[in-house]
Structure 1
Amino acid sequence: MKLYHSPTSPFARKVRILIREKGAANRVSEELISTMEDPAALHAANPLGKIPALVMNDGTSYFDSPLICEYLDVALEGPTFIPASNIERWRVQRLHALADGIMDASVSLTFERMRPEAQRSEMWMGRWRRAIERGIAVLEAEVTDLDGALDLGGIATGAALGYLDFRHAGLDWQSKAPELAGWWKDFAKRPSLVETAPPA
């Protein structure tokens, strides 16, 4: 299997963390790719031209990080990160969706800031910042859900918080969510997080 990714993408990082937590880094090759260059190899793997994209040995591909994570959780040996039972499954997937939403808003904010200043939309930037703040507030209120055995909700939360620190340190989320910040401080030390950290 081959995973197309960027070292700065939080969605790709989520997948890469899961692979390492599965103990399967030697089963999935990781290939750096730039979506800004619009490469043909990525289009063949994902017609939407987005990362991450996972390509099987027979050429079959999976795209969209939740789908890739679910596939790998079943296909790879090792611990399971998406529970089978409905109650626990929906709890984990709800947390996963919240973390992905924070990533969506954060990445949108990043791209908007890359535009020339005269073309930036303060209205959209404000909406994305507020979405991030509300998401962080929910994570802070429900931080105990991150305790216990690691699951995909925790993996996604770590990828989201890592991206905020990487691209949006000025939002100062840690001072507004001290319990979550304490969880993140410990979680970020896991080898899977250290190995997938974006470039300094």
Structure 2
Amino acid sequence: MKLYYSPTSPYVRKVVILALETGLDAKIQRIPAATTPVAQNPDVAKANPVAKVPTLVTDDGLHLFDSRVICEYLDTLHAGRKFFPADASRWAVLRQQALGDGLLDAALLVRYEGFLRPEDKRWSDWADGQMKKVLGAMAEIEKLAPSFGDRVDIGTVTIACALGYLDFRFGDMNWRQKYPQTAAWAQRFFERPSVKATVPVG
């Protein structure tokens, strides 16, 4: 399998953590592919009509995109504990994945507004509105964090990647001080080898 990726993408990080946790990483060739909303990577665009990473090309030539789809596909390829549970906990786990992804979607829009958009075209109300979504997601994660325990599933992995992105791009947010339950859980989860191996740099 081939994975088009950027090492700073939190969505790619979700896929790589799942691959490492399930032992599938050795079967995946990672292909660096820098891409932004205003500068598409031509190789990614050939494999994915929306030209975004992560994009996975399977051994039988299927092109999969969106981290949620790729992660669920990879979860079918191993015999270990599933990241997408089939029992009654499934909907709570998927909701947690949506919560983490929603935080990331909003945070990335703030990042793009301040980093990619020309300064004279930036809209502070837009960025503030997206940050309200980030803070709303963080408040919900703070309520849920005591229930996470030692679970490792697509919900907790996604939330960990979202928190890691805040560390990477929004370090001045100091979320650990404001959300102590989340910080206590993250301190343990961030010690996992798969999480340590995928910390974004750059």
Per the shorter chain, which TM-score range? over 0.9
Structure 2 contact 84–154 (Cα < 8 Å) conserved: yes
Q: May I ask how many residue pairs the two structures share in their alignment?
A: 199
Alpha-carbon distance between aligned partners in 2 of 1:182 and 1:22, rounded to the nearest angstrom: 25
Over residues 96-148 of structure 1, what are the superposed CA-to-partner deviations in whole Å (9 max), with x where a residue is unaligned? 00000001011111111112322111011101111101100000011123213
Deviations 1:21-79 (A, max 9, x none): 11221011111101134222201221101110000123211001111111111123432
Q: Which residue of 137, 143, 160 maps to 1:158? A: 160
TM-score (norm 1): 0.95
Instruction: List alignment gaps of at least 5 residues for structure 1.
Output: none
SS in 2 for 1:136: helix
In the other structure, the counterpart of 1:5 is 5
Provide the residue aligned with 2:91 in structure 1: 90
1:172: Cα distance to partner? Answer: 1.9
Alignment partner for residue 121 of structure 1, among 117, 120, 123?
A: 123
Distance (whole Å) between structure 1 residues aligned to residue 51 and residue 191 of structure 2: 32
CA contact (8 A) 2:146 2:181 kept: no
Identify the residue that residue 147 of structure 2 maps to in structure 1: 145
Choose between structure 1 and 2: higher helix proportion.
Answer: 1
Question: Structure 2: how far apart are the matches of 1:131 and 1:183?
Answer: 21
Within 5 Å, give how 1:16-165 maps onto structure 2.
16-36=16-36, 37-85=39-87, 87-114=88-115, 115-165=117-167
Query: Which residue does 1:169 correspond to in 2?
Result: 171
Separation in structure 2 between the aligned mates of residue 116 and residue 41 of structure 1, nearest angstrom? 27
For 1:192 and 1:31, the matched residues in 2 are separated by: 19
Give the % identical residues. 39
Task: Report the secondary structure of 2:164's partner residue.
Answer: helix
Q: Is the 8 A contact 1:82 1:92 kept in 2?
A: yes
Q: Which amino acid aligns with 2:90?
A: R
**Alignment pair present for 1:192 and 2:156:** no
Aligned counterparts of 1:57 and 1:66: Cα–Cα separation in 2: 19
Note if contact 2:4-2:55 (Cα within 8 Å) is conserved in structure 1: yes
SS at match of 1:67: helix
What's the Cα RMSD here? 1.2
**Is this contact kept in 2: 1:133–1:173, CA < 8 A?**
no
Provide the rounded CA distance (Å) in 2 between the counterparts of 1:21 and 1:149: 13
